[in-house]
Amino acid sequence: MIREAILFGGVLYILITIAQIIDRPSIWSEGIIVAIILAIATVYYLINDEHRLHTAEIAALWAAVLLFMVYTLFKYGGVL
């Protein structure tokens, strides 16, 4: 059930990204990159190997935490 919900959500976000690309052609390169990343992340949840899936989830979680820390440092430092 959860895997199907994640698959549905991923497809929905990919469709939203495609709609944004059509609406704003100037962002086509970023939109394509985002759509590809969303597709890879969505398909990755269809993997049956639980250990490999867990490892990927933990890596994605820590990557998100580190990216927020980098953003905060840039914002605090006046770069952004």
pLDDT digits over 14-73, tens only?
899 999 999 998 988 988 998 888 888 888 777 777 888 788 788 888 999 999 999 999
Q: What's the structural domain count of the chain?
A: 2
Angle between helices 28-44 and 2-23 (to 10 degrees): 170
Q: State both tokens at 40.
A: 């890879």
Are 5 and 38 members of one domain?
A: yes
Are 1 and 35 members of one domain?
A: yes
Q: Which domain holds residue 40?
A: 1-46
Are 35 and 71 members of one domain?
A: no
What is the 8-class DSSP label of residue 25? G
Cα–Cα distance measured from residue 80 to residue 70, given in angstroms and rounded to the nearest whole number: 11
- Between the alpha carbon of residue 55 and those of residues 8, 32, 44, 46, the distances in Å are 22, 26, 12, 14
Are 55 and 40 members of one domain?
A: no
- 24: region left, alpha or beta (phi > 0 left; psi from -120 to 50 alpha): beta
Are 33 and 18 members of one domain?
A: yes
pTM above 0.75?
Answer: no
